[in-house]
Structure 1
Amino acid sequence: MEYLLPPRGLLTTKLAALNCGVQPATIRDWVRRGILAPCGGTPKRPVYRLADVEAARSAAKPTRNGQRGVNAA
């Protein structure tokens, strides 16, 4: 069951995405890439610390060759 209101200082995937201005799939991608780690919840319904989400949002993201980005021609 997903939290209607998670404990103070914690965010669900959906709330973390809203906080960062990205899609929930981006949050899951950050977890897969090691940029963000869940601090609890369940494997299907993880929760994240607000401070960790803020740090992940401003972290430099590794890119793959051929990936479109700011420096793409």
Structure 2
Amino acid sequence: MEYLSLPPGYLTTSLAALAVGVDPATIRDWVRRGILTRCGGTPMRPIYRVTDVLDARHAAKPSRPGQRAR
């Protein structure tokens, strides 16, 4: 269940993914890796600032040991 109403300038995980053209799992991965931070919501339904999501899209992603180059 999504939020019925969000404050202007905030996105759910699925809306953030749509905004930057990635899967919702990628948004959750960015949070886990410290590239994006939650700004509210609940643990099961976090919300993010639009500007933070857009900044995360263009941020340099830290590599993991053994990760294949694309």
- TM-score, length-normalised on structure 2? 0.91
Identity of aligned residues (%): 70
Deviation by residue 1:30-70 (Cα, 9 ceiling, x = unmatched):
00000000100000000000000011000000111221233
Flag structure 1 segments of 5+ consecutive residues without an equivalent.
Answer: none
CA distance in 2, matches of 1:42, 1:69: 35
Deviation by residue 1:5-51 (Cα, 9 ceiling, x = unmatched):
42210000000000111000000000000000010000000000000
- Could you say which residue in structure 1 is the equivalent of 2:14? 14
- Could you say which residue in structure 2 is the equivalent of 1:39? 39
Q: Aligned Cα RMSD in Å?
A: 1.2
CA distance in 1, matches of 2:46, 2:64: 26
Q: Residue 53 of structure 1 aligns to a residue in which SS?
A: helix
Q: Residue 11 of structure 1 aligns to a residue in which SS?
A: strand
The number of equivalent residue pairs is 70
